[in-house]
Amino acid sequence: MADNRSATLRFDNKEIELPIYSPTAGPDVIDIRKLYGQGGVFTYDPGFTSTASCDSTITFIDGDKGELLHRGYPIDQLAEKSHYLEVCYLLLYGELPTGKQLEDFESLVTNHTMLHDQMSYFFRGFRRDAHPMAILVGVVGAMSAFYHDSTDISDPQQREVASIRLIAKMPTIAAWAYKFSIGQPFIYPRNDLDYASNFLRMCFAVPAQDYEVNPILSRAMDRIFTLHADHEQNASTSTVRLASSSGANPFACIAAGIACLWGPAHGGANQACLEMLKEIGTPDRIPEFIARAKDKDDNYRLMGFGHRVYKNHDPRATVLKQSADEVLNLLGVEDNPLLQVAKELEKQALEDPYFSEKKLFPNVDFYSGIILEAMGFPTSMFTPIFALSRTVGWISQWKEQLDDPQLKIGRPRQLYQGAAMRDYVDVEKR
Ligand code: CMC
């Protein structure tokens, strides 16, 4: 990584040489680690717009070209030719599996899908109207209380077991969060079904009537999982890494990632986007909403538009737009009004200079909600589905960080703007 180049920083009669590193892809990186020691200053970068927080070999995004690579493989190829569990293997272990490795991995995950039975009581402690993300944060955090044999992060075998458990059990947890919210009995996983079909069945079957999984819907579900599997150092992944840097157990770290994902600027955008499309309702109201999004005095934003890194197009959105057409055709609802509003909104926004000048394009959340709603999911389940898909990304990044010999607890500094030291004033004198 290191080459012989360096950057020179001059200020206050000081001159500091800072090494420059060249990555496999992406911009060069200036190593500022000795800046405070030698110069007594910090850098200032709220929102990490110019800061690389770690080394990584997992995922790369070229925001200008609209490219997303997992271990070097483009996401559109993986979405078309691979499937979620194979992508999980790739993210976790770095290479595509052989046929035997894939078979063993699938069997391992399938055999860990059941939850400790006592966990069902944990679900029952929530209010029925709890948001499924609230249940996910709680239940995944609570896994540390149920799986003591996989919380010792210094033991590689325990790390491995925790990884498989999380990937295997997330669909069960998300499906049970949904079942609990609608007052239906929990449906147990079935080992003869693939990962996506199992999830659909656990959500939509009832003891009185099984759910026939349509292979086209299961493929679309699997594709949504694949497209959300990892995304470099985004807010929730960075949260997982920061939580893990203190040595916290894997279930606590992933629960922290889920909590961060919930926000509407991140994973919560898929729910917010569908709610926005419903609020717009008909294509004739689109100009009114675009005008609001452009108004400097209104903090309204078009949900499912814009991205910190993608400045050309989001390759995941391209795949999902096509998938939305396929799913709605299959279900015979190709004239779905939400899809019509979404397509017209995309068209009008892309023709508007405000959006093109700011490089705002539809992101992954713009079309995923339409597919999920057509499958029968309520909006409150959209972000839990994102969370279950992203679990493998969080775990891969967590494992990579623990293997990094440079691992230090994350501890950002600050530009303090508060009061200087002052003496306490007794209450009667204030
Ligand atoms: N609608 C209208 N204007 C927008 C939007 C939007 N969706 N997104 C950004 N802008 C404007 C923003 O007002 C700002 O304008 P100005 O320069 O005049 O102040 C400019 O574009 C840059 O915005 P920013 O907030 O500085 O950009 P950011 O990189 O910090 O934010 C973002 C990225 C995704 C948080 C933001 O685009 C946004 O809030 N989008 C809507 C929420 C959304 O769809 N989030 C899902 C992201 S993809 C899934 C995931 O990875 O979680």
Instruction: Summarize the chain as % helix, strand, coil (round to 5).
Output: 55, 10, 40
Query: Could you tell me if the CB of 307 is within 6 A of ligand 1?
Result: yes
Query: Could you tell me if the CB of 266 is within 6 A of ligand 1?
Result: yes
**70-83 as b/e: b if 16+ CB within 10 A:** bbeeebeebbeebb
Output the pLDDT for position 2.
57
CA 233 to ligand 1 center in whole angstroms: 17
For the entire predicted model, the pTM comes to: 0.92
Which of 75, 305, 354, 355 is the best mutation target for the ligand 1 pocket, counting ligand atoms within 8 Å of the beta carbon and taking the most? 305
Q: Which atom of ligand 1 is nearest to the CA of 234?
A: 51
Output the pLDDT for position 22.
95
Output the pLDDT for position 339.
84
The residue whose C-alpha atom lies closest to atom 1 belonging to ligand 1 is 301
Residues of the chain predicted below pLDDT 50: none
What residues contact residue 274 under an 8 Å CB cut-off, 6+ apart?
A: 338, 369, 370, 372, 373, 379, 382
216 burial via Cβ count (<10 Å: 0-12, 13-18, 19+): middle
Closest CA to 203 of 375, 392, 383, 390: 375
292 burial via Cβ count (<10 Å: 0-12, 13-18, 19+): middle
Output the pLDDT for position 336.
81
Residues annotated as catalytic are 307, 365
Output the pLDDT for position 75.
96
Query: Could you tell me if the CB of 294 is within 6 A of ligand 1?
Result: no
CA distance 301 to 30: 34
- Give CA separation, 103 vs 82, 100, 162, 196, in Å: 14, 5, 20, 16
The 3-state DSSP class for residue 305 equals strand
100 burial via Cβ count (<10 Å: 0-12, 13-18, 19+): exposed
